[in-house]
Amino acid sequence: MKTVKIKNKTLTVPIIQGGMGVGISLGNLAGNVAKCGGMGVISTAHPGYREDDFETNHRQANIRALKKEIIKAKEIREGKGIVAINAMVALQDYEELIEAAIEAGVEAIISGAGLPMHLPALVKNHDVLIAPIVSSGKACKLILRSWWHKHQRLPDFIVIEGCQAGGHLGFKKEDLVNHTCQSLDEIFRDVKQVVVGYEDEHDVKIPIFVAGGIYKKQDVDHYLSIGVNGVQVATRFITTQECDASIEYKKAFIEAKKEDIELVSSPVGMPGRAIKNQFTNRVKEGKINISKCYRCLKPCHVKDAPYCISKALIEAVKGNIDDGLIFSGAYGYLNNEMTTVKAVIEELTEEKS
């Protein structure tokens, strides 16, 4: 299988495990993906939800836990792969979490859910790879232009997230419902066009990874054949033994059917994709009482929010499934058995003899 060189680092398999909050991709999953030669990504969305002081001091709990999870992943990976974080621009504590991750020795930062315009300034001259997540050629162009103009810095790699992904989606709800979103192939073509100009001008290589609905070796082969450098895969890793979520969370995927995957509205005003359950049904019926605000996402206004996304995601990862929001990619129902990280990576990459 193709290796991917990203600046001074190499992935021996062209796979990034997508960051999954809250608590779905922490040090165990990320470390084990890196151990197989891929990029393991720890989510910075409330990594401290299990800390004793989380309810009274979530900011410190998250910073402390993030550092612990990075160190754990780096111990597990036995010197292989790359250990990264996913930092959503929309997070209230975005800057502090990035600073903490750098202190703990993170090797790459992938940032989306907004345009990460200030990321180069936040990482300064630290030896850490940086990548934006984009869902269009236009967003890519804006970021590259701004990064170069203001910081004389280009991304070390780029992740394109298409409309089949899980979690928050960078597309309009109407386009998702009417299936009128640009395809990943089309977005890749647009992004590549932007990137090639910078690569030629600055004599650099900026590998591009695509994400959203990648499940089989044929999907990986297809994207590599059109010139993509690698893939980012998230949902498929949920039903691995190494995934950091509770067993109840994993079972929800194994039991889900095609018709159970649905679009949901998030309190941050973006559409998302999740597994239909008692919680999503209650959300459709009306506002769910919010007893506490965790100040997690900048665009969320507690007064108008239909529910608290932090609480919903924390309940889910802990296994309180009926009270939780279970984010899923469009093909989450294909996760029909428990497996391992090694088996998933082999299935996605191995050449058939």
- Write out the residues near ligand FMN by the rule CB under 6 A: 18-21, 24, 43, 45, 86, 88, 112-113, 133, 161, 164-167, 211-214, 232-236, 327-329
- Minimum CB distance to ligand FMN, residue 333 (Å): 11
For residue 71, what are its two tokens?
Answer: 């160190």
**299-to-138, 179, 256, 267, 286 alpha-carbon distances in Å:** 22, 26, 31, 8, 20
Nearer to ligand FMN, 155 or 212 (CB): 212
CB–CB of 51/61 below 8 Å?
A: yes
Minimum gap (Å) between residue 119 Cβ and ligand FMN: 13
From the CB of 12, what's the least distance to ligand FMN, in Å?
20
* Residue with Cβ nearer ligand FMN (246 or 328): 328
Q: Answer yes or no: are the C-beta atoms of 325 and 312 closer than 8 Å.
A: yes
Within 13 Å and on the Cβ side, how many CA atoms surround 184?
25
For ligand FMN, the closer of residues 51 and 244 by Cβ is 244
Q: Which two tokens stand for residue 67?
A: 């550092």
Please, which residue, 196 or 226, has the CB nearer to ligand FMN?
Answer: 226
> How far apart are alpha carbons 24 and 244 in whole angstroms?
5
> In this complex, which beta carbon is closest to ligand FMN, that of residue 168 or of residue 198?
168
The least distance separating ligand FMN from the CB of residue 240, rounded to whole angstroms, comes to 13
Q: E strands along the chain, which residues?
A: 4-6, 9-11, 15-17, 39-43, 82-88, 108-112, 129-134, 158-161, 167-168, 208-211, 230-233, 261-265, 271-275
d(CA 22, CA 6): 27
d(CA 238, CA 131): 23
Q: Closest distance between ligand FMN and the C-beta of residue 22, in Å?
A: 7
Q: Which is nearer to ligand FMN, 37 or 212 (CB)?
A: 212
Q: How far is the CB of 293 from ligand FMN (least distance, A)?
A: 19
